[in-house]
Amino acid sequence: MEAKVEDRPAMTVEQPAEPKETDDAAPAALGELKIKATDVNLWYGEKQALFDVNLEVFGQSVTALIGPSGCGKSTFLRCLNRMNDVIDICKVKGDIRLDGEDIYAPEVDPVQLRARVGMVFQKPNPFPKSIYENVAYAPRLHGLCATKAQMDEVVETSLIKAGLWEEVKDRLDAPGTGLSGGQQQRLCIARAISVNPEVLLMDEPCSALDPIATATIETLIDELKENLCIAIVTHSMQQAARVSQRTAFFHLGKLVEVNDTSTIFTNPSDQRTQDYVTGRFG
Amino acid sequence: MSSLTILAILIGAGVLAYFIGRMRSIQTCGGQQQNLHSRPSYHGYYLAILTALPAIILLAVWGIAERPLTRYVAMQELPAKVLQGSDAEKALTMSVVDTIAEGLPQLSPEEYEVLRKARYGFVTTSDARDVLARHGVVLGSDPDRSLLAAADELASRAEPAGSRCRSACFALAALGFVWGYSRIRPELRARNIVERVMRGGLFLASTVAVLTTVGIVLSVLFETIHFFQFVSPFDFLFGTVWDPRFATVGKAEGQFGLLPLLWGTLFISAVALLVAVPVGLFAAIYMSEYAGSKVRAFAKPVLEILAGIPTIVYGFFALSVFGPLLRDLGFNIGLEISASSVLTAGIVMGVMIIPFVSSLSDDIINAVPQSLREGSYGLGATQSETIKKVILPAALPGIVGAVLLAASRAIGETMIVVLAAGIAANLTLNPLEPVTTITVKIVSQLTGDLEFNSPQTLVAFALGLTLFIITLALNVYALYIVRKYREQYE
Amino acid sequence: MTDQTASLASFTGEEAQKKLRKRHRAERRFRAYGVAAILFALAFLVFLFTSIFSQGWSAFLQTSIKLPVEFSQDVINPSGNPDAEDEIFRANYVKLARAALYKQLGIDAEDRKVRRDANKLLSRGVDVQLRDMVLRDPSIIGKTEDVWLLASDDADALLKGSIDRKTPSDRRAVNDQQVAWIDQLVDKGDMEKRFNTGLFVNGASSNPETAGLGVALIGSFFMMLTVVLLAVPLGVCAALYLEEYAPKGKISDTIEVNINNLAAVPSIVFGLLGLAVFINFFGLPRSASLVGGLVLTLMTLPTIIITTRAAIRAVPPSIREAALGVGASKMQLIGHHVLPLSLPGILTGTIIGLVQALGETAPLLMIGMVAFVVEYPTTPLDPATGLPVQIYMWASSAERGFVERTAGATMVLLAFLIVMNSLAVYLRNKFERKW
């Protein structure tokens, strides 16, 4: 198996690898293929931010996107639930499929898509509403709960899954903005999983948190991946190593290499990856 | 010599002193300018300030104090009966004194002599009245001797006091110059002194705004207290009839109920807000959330133009076009709409305050952090759902502030209602009928002849105080919540 | 958990699609409200401007009649003494104008009814017009000259079409005979609409055709001058103190809150202040443009302070540090760097303040500037009116001719404001600096 990897250079932009390679190489148990992005190019106005990115994201696992600042990893993540649509000057080309379905197809409604592909942001951004209302926001939007009892249950389950229930169950009416940073971020996670999305995108979810809160979130991610497909952008290589099964390394808008996390950190095939994970730049 | 001439002379002296001071400083250091602590021009400014400033301050103080002072002295001539009488009585007597005093300088010496004699009782005061009448000073009856005395004092005191003040000004200027000149030497810290004076000047300038507020409060309050000597505050605040009658000096015959005016003001403002708040808010939402840069570049100035049109233009438009239009429209659908109805004034005023709502709301909405929008989009909310359920609730305090500011504008607005609202004070719930407002009544009570001792004139100040208190409360509260709101997202 | 899996299913069903369509409809509706709001504002603006322009443009034209007026010595100066100014001043000029009109129309000067009808064609202001000609050049006495004399308000209205010819004669302001004469004069080219210079130079008048904005323009000019001379230095100094010197604390907070509130105080309250303080306490004359200027100064001060502070704040700290670093004192820093760099912003703010002051009416009513002033004011202490006050006075007049004048005066006011605003925009664009 090792030899096989040697034969074939790492998956790079110049030489995209076949997906089955990862199947073979995966030591961790990966779920079915969830998202497949092919030749994604993206422009902000005149400036091109992504160049021919090819990446696959699998269910029941965590895929980490790492790379130096401005390498396009966050931008790519935001393509996956069409958050970039909000920016006028942003133009996306390429093919991104969720369960084999082109998410940029004209008949796909980004509103519906985003309910299936949830997102957690860099800075905790609870709405200036109560904790309960924060979690109930999305189910209410999509009209998922007919009765108050159902809504209560959804809120409770989501908060339990986000590991926040015990801390806030007595003060669900308190404003979400009054929680601590780590709690706020878990509230945002609860909010995102309240509609039971299939994919959860996390854009540096711990960068604004202290180490203890970070550890809590990482444990949470580990639990959540049992039922979810998670893609996480992170600045911290330790975090990528801790939480992810697969890691993709971005550099200057290009996907340099994607592989099992252990492989990326111990035996990367590209020199740039090597330099980055050993701390020589970035 | 008028005060303006003296001012010009003093300024001229200051300029001269500048050049002398400059020269002197160069002289003292023997041309070695690097030995001077301050540059020569600062020595110039130093001397100019010492020469002109104290004298100008004296001149200003005199200018302010002269009239009240001489009037006070003249008033002492009046009989005790008048002095102990009411303010209104005093003011009435003083206005006669003023009239006589104004006539005095026009008299020839012989005529003046007649007046002097009349003052001390050698001839009858009706002779004095005839003499004055020849110079256009017509008195209703033969003046009391004390009135002539007071007028004589008023006229004769003013002149010598003025000339003494002029001499004092020039003396002060000369003194300042000599002292400053003697102090100029190389080690004089002229720059520091000049800068301290200038800093003081800047500080004074910044207090003008505060003084204005104090002036508004004091002047309006003073006249209002005066008004309450005629009409009890209770009748004013809770009276339901507004009928001031015509101005008759010293008699409170009419009724001065505030309520119909207050109701009219609030009614028209409410209609205005009903127009301005939805339009302004939706315009702001569209511009900040939906519009591309091109639409924005077009729509924002359009709204700003609405704010830039003088209110008199809106008033004329409401009077000549919009009022008749609404009336005809109503006639066609069988409604009787008065041309100066609440609707006319309210709608036009509403358009006027649209920009007040929209531009502040626009700022406020833009201040809502982008992360909240993303959070909502990320959950699959549409843009309008995000706006309705996240952005507006988050921006609510700020928007309330904007609406309150707009409301304060509407309540204080004058020209639209003066031209387009009714004049009859009317407690009605029907928006098709005319009502009148506080501002309309302030204008109508204060145009034409003023009698500062009749409640008909003074009531305008009581109305003004009411208006000031209402708008100030709205403004202070609105600015407070807007400020709090801004701090929250900074 | 099962509950949520169940709800997930409802994302895709027919029911869900329906719900989704409904949400998108709501989205489109919401967006349409926004567009509608902006269109409403735009439509109102267009309506306002077109209605004022359509009413007002004709005010810039005024009907005149060309008449060969004989400046008869017998009427103007019967004593023959050219120094008898009083005689010349009081002469019966109307008689001259009427005589010329009778001759021109070829009517019988003996018939009183005919005469009265004919007289109504001429403005009541023709005597002043002829008198001024004679006073300017006494040598025309005894000569006959062709003079364009102002026609009456009614004749003017007929020519401008605001009197309908189809109205029965007895309900029309001009009767059939007069209409015939007017047509006759127009056909001969002796009666026509000419550019209305009177609108810009005349003082107050109770006849619409001779009323003008002259006094108002001068009054407004004096007031603007006062504002520029007082509000700008005071405002800039105050802003400098608050930005550069004021220790951050209670005092500067108080001043700041104060200025913001002052900017929102109703303008009419400033009028009350002016009345109570400047007129009642200091004894300045009523109706004087100086008092108007002082009141407007206090009113515009907050605007100027606020904009100047913003301009000063925009000067980057690096420049301050550089100047202080080479040993400049704070005053030198301000004089050499801060003021020159913030000058465009200060200018823009000043113009905005002036625009506000020029259009303001209410406080001027309080200090008695609603006055019937015929003579030009020569100093700021003379009685005067202002442009917006003149509009107010004309708007409250009943005569038809004044409606047109009011709209015309509004156009003049708007023209001034547009020019000033454009200047502000130009200055901002030209000097705007990005640090």
| C70 membership: H or E segment, kind and range | strand C61-70
How many interchain CB pairs under 8 A, B with C?
Answer: 267
Same domain, C125 and C44: no
Chain A interface, best mutation among B379, B382, B386, by max A CB count within 10 A:
B379
Q: Is residue C165 located within the same domain as residue C268? A: no
Tell whether the model's pLDDT for residue C407 goes beyond 70: yes
How sure is the predictor about B166, in pLDDT bands with cuts at 50, 70 and 90? confident
- What is the C-alpha end-to-end distance of chain A, expressed in Å? 31
Reported confidence tier of residue A20, pLDDT bands at 50, 70, 90: very low
Report which of residues A72 and B68 the model is more confident about: A72
Pull the structure tokens for residue C44.
């109102």
pLDDT per residue as tens digits for the range B127-145: 777 777 777 777 777 777 7
C204 part of a folded domain: no
As a 3-state breakdown, chain B gives helix, strand, coil percent values, each rounded to 5, of 75, 0, 20
Please, which residues have CB within 8 angstroms of residue C376's CB and are 6 or more apart in sequence? C203, C214, C215, C218
Cα separation of C108 and C102, whole Å? Answer: 7
Confirm or reject contact between C266 and chain B (CB < 8 A): yes
pLDDT at A11: 42
Q: Give the number of other CB atoms < 10 A from CB of residue A144.
A: 25
Q: Across the interface, which of C8, C20, C23 has its CB nearest the CB of A196?
A: C8
Residue type, C371: A
Top mean-pLDDT range of B53-67, B275-289, C134-148, C338-352? B275-289
Q: How far is A265 from chain C (nearest CA, A)?
A: 36
CB contact under 8 A, A195 and C7: yes
Among residues C142, C164, C196, the one where a domain terminates is: C196
**Assigned domain for C205 exists:** no
Are A203 and A78 in contact, with CB atoms under 8 Å apart?
A: yes
Of all residues in chain B, the one with the smallest CA distance to A197 is: B379
Note whether C390 and C253 are same-domain residues.
yes
Assigned domain for C6 exists: no
Asked whether residue C2 is domain-assigned, the answer is no
Residues in a beta bridge with A51: A254
* One domain for residues C27 and C64: no
Judge whether B472 is closer than 8 Å to chain C, CB to CB. yes
Q: Is A15 exposed, middle or buried (0-12, 13-18, 19+ CB in 10 A)?
A: exposed
Give the pLDDT confidence score for residue A10 in this predicted structure.
41
Domain boundaries, chain B: 3-188, 255-485
Among B199, B279, B464, beta carbon nearest to C245: B199
pLDDT at A14 over 50: no
pLDDT band, residue C237 (cuts 50/70/90): very high
Looking at beta carbons, which residues of chain A come within 8 Å of B387?
Answer: none
Q: Are residues C171 and C185 in the same domain?
A: yes
Whether C73 and C41 share a structural domain:
no
Grade residue C208 by pLDDT with cuts at 50, 70 and 90. confident
A146: closest chain C residue by CA: C7
Q: Which of B88, B459, B462 is nearest to B243 (CA)?
A: B459
The answer, for A160 touching chain C at a CB cutoff of 8 Å, is no
Q: Are C228 and C350 in contact (CB under 8 A)?
A: yes
Chain A residues close to C5, C-beta within 8 Å: 196
Asked, for residue C262, whether it belongs to a domain, the answer is: yes
Q: What was the pLDDT predicted at B479?
A: 87
Q: Answer whether residue A220 shows pLDDT above 80.
A: yes
pLDDT of residue C433: 66
Chain A hits for B379, Cβ within 8 Å:
114-115, 118-119, 137-138, 141, 191-192, 195
Residues C172 and C104 in one domain: yes
Mean pLDDT of chain C: 86
Residue C294 and residue C339 share a domain: yes
Helix (H) or strand (E) holding B337: none
Q: Rounded to 5 degrees, what are φ and ψ at C195?
A: -60, 135
Domains of chain A: 2-277 (3.40.50.300)
Q: What is the residue type of A148?
A: K
> Does C211 or B129 have the greater pLDDT score?
C211
**One-letter amino acid of B482:** V
Reading the block at residue A180, the tokens are 């601590």
Q: For residue C202, tell me if it sits in a domain.
A: no
Taking contacts as CB-CB distances below 8 angstroms, the residues of chain A near B373 are 86
Please check whether residues C182 and C248 belong to one and the same domain: no
Closest CA to C135 of C178, C198, C177, C93: C93
Q: Does residue B383 belong to the interface with chain C, where contact is any CB pair within 8 Å?
A: yes
* pLDDT for residue A24: 44
- Domain coverage including residue C102: 60-196
CA distance C253 to C242: 10
Mean pLDDT of C14-27: 86
Dihedral of the alpha carbons of B68, B70, B73, B74, in degrees to the nearest 10: -110
User: What is the spatial distance between Cα A66 and Cα A72, in angstroms, rounded to a whole number?
Assistant: 10
Band (A116; pLDDT cuts 50, 70, 90) = confident
Query: Looking at the predicted structure, is the pLDDT value of residue C340 above 80?
Result: yes
- Comparing CB atoms, the residue among C23, C264, C355 nearest residue B308 is C355
Same domain as C172, residue C285: no
Predicted pLDDT of residue A21: 42
Top pLDDT among A19 and B411 is at B411
Across the interface, whether the CB atoms of A127 and B378 are under 8 A apart is answered: no
- Please check whether the domain covering B255-485 is classified as CATH 1.10.150.120: no
pLDDT at A143: 83
Find the CATH number of the domain harbouring C357. Answer: 1.10.3720.10
A142 touches chain B (CB under 8 A): yes
Same domain, C162 and C267: no
CB atoms within 10 A of CB B278: 17
Rounded to whole angstroms, the Cα distance separating B350 from B135 reads: 54
- Any idea which residue has 């605007």 for tokens? C303
DSSP letters of chain A?
A: -HHHHHHSPP--SSSPPPTHHHHHH--S---SEEEEEEEEEEEETTEEEEEEEEEEEETTEEEEEE-STTSSHHHHHHHTTTGGGGSTTEEEEEEEEETTEETTSTT--HHHHHHHEEEE-SS----SSBHHHHHHHHHHHTT--SSHHHHHHHHHHHHHHTT-HHHHTT-TTSBGGGS-HHHHHHHHHHHHHTT--SEEEEESTTTTS-HHHHHHHHHHHHHHTTTSEEEEE-S-HHHHHHH-SEEEEEETTEEEEEEEHHHHHHS-SSHHHHHHHTTS--
- Per-residue model confidence as pLDDT tens digits over B444-479: 888 876 777 788 888 999 999 999 999 999 999 998
pLDDT value at residue C8:
41
Give chain C's domain count. 3
- Asked whether residue B335 carries a pLDDT value surpassing 90, the answer given is no
Chain C within 8 Å of A139 (Cβ-Cβ)?
Answer: yes
Q: For chain C, say whether B11 makes contact (Cβ under 8 Å).
A: no
Q: Nearest by CB to A138, which of B369, B380, B394?
A: B380
Q: What is the pLDDT of residues A40-68, one digit of tens each?
A: 999 988 899 999 999 999 989 999 999 98
Are C289 and C353 contained in the same domain?
Answer: yes
CB–CB contact A111 C1 (8 Å): no
Nearest CA in chain C to A144: C7
**Exposed (0-12), middle (13-18) or buried (19+): which is A106, by Cβ within 10 Å?**
exposed
β pairing state of A90-98 and A33-44 = antiparallel
- The alpha carbon of residue C27 is apart from the nearest alpha carbon of chain B, in Å, by 5
Q: Is residue C206 part of a domain?
A: no
Q: What is the pLDDT of residues B222-270, one digit of tens each?
A: 889 988 988 889 889 988 888 887 655 545 567 888 999 999 999 999 9
Higher pLDDT, C60 or B450: C60
Q: How far is A111 from chain B (nearest CA, A)?
A: 4
CA distances from B429 to B423, B433, C305 (A): 16, 8, 42
> CA–CA separation, C299 vs C226, rounded Å?
12
- For B473, the token pair is 């409360």
Question: Least CB-CB distance to B377: which of A83, A88, A127?
Answer: A83
Residue C264 and residue B408: Cβ atoms within 8 Å?
Answer: yes
In tens, the pLDDT along A25-39 reads 444 567 788 899 999
- C-alpha dihedral over B242, B248, B250, B252, to 10 degrees? -20
Instruction: Answer with the one of C21, C36, C57 that is the final residue of a domain.
Output: C57
Q: What is the mean pLDDT of chain A?
A: 85
